[in-house]
Amino acid sequence: MAARTWKIGAIAVVLGVAAYWYWSPFLAIHQLRAAAKAGDADAFSEHVDYPRLRDSLKGQLSAAIGGRMAERMPRSDVGKAGAALGALFASAMTDRLVDAIVRPEAVMRILQEGRLMPRSAARGGESDDSPPPDTPDASGSAPAPSRAPIWSTERQGVDTFILYARQAGQPEDRRTGLVLERRGFASWQLTEIRMPSL
């Protein structure tokens, strides 16, 4: 009887550990969101690898800006020289932009709004005078649709977990991906932000 009880207990422990390992990325996301909502930069930063985030964004932005500049430059020697100068300018601009984005408060906003830029910046600095979500308008008709992001997840192997965000009505290729990588047994860190195509 004692041996049977021991076996049952061991199986329960193994199953518990396996369940914790499987659900650990969801726990990390919950902790990130809770810290973002509370504005706790220290707790939030425990789950973020900022150097990796900067590298991921710099690569994506440089490629996007460089690609657009290459499309507009003539294919002459002058155009090639201009493209080289443009690449230097794009690199400097990208570095400044990424340094502004990859700060605790900015990354925390991404976890809340599901986008890199705040809504006002995305509209060119215009103020947001629309009614808050889920409130009736002046005529008393149906509430306005919520602008909260739509979240989805994807596992890639055992060490990568991606949290996707997109706005209602946007196609899948316009979603932002927040990539978490496993550290050790069941710890996770945010290491990459995958932007929609620019």
Q: Which residue, 17, 83, 94, is CA-closest to 55?
A: 94
Number of domains in the chain: 1
- Asked if residue 16 belongs to a domain, the reply is no
Q: State the pairing for strand pair 187-194/176-183.
A: antiparallel
- The structure's pTM equals 0.71
- Asked if residue 159 belongs to a domain, the reply is yes
- Asked if residue 125 belongs to a domain, the reply is no
Q: Which residue, 56, 11, 9, 46, is CA-closest to 191?
A: 56
H or E element, residue 158: none
- Asked if residue 124 belongs to a domain, the reply is no
Domain assignment of residue 64, given as a range: 24-116+146-194
- Asked if residue 10 belongs to a domain, the reply is no
- Asked if residue 128 belongs to a domain, the reply is no
Answer yes or no: is pLDDT of 2 > 90: no
For the stretch 18-45, pLDDT in tens is 999 999 999 999 999 999 999 999 999 9
The residues, ordered by sequence, that sit 6+ positions from 119 with a Cβ below 8 Å of its Cβ are 113, 128, 147
Answer yes or no: is pLDDT of 77 > 80: no
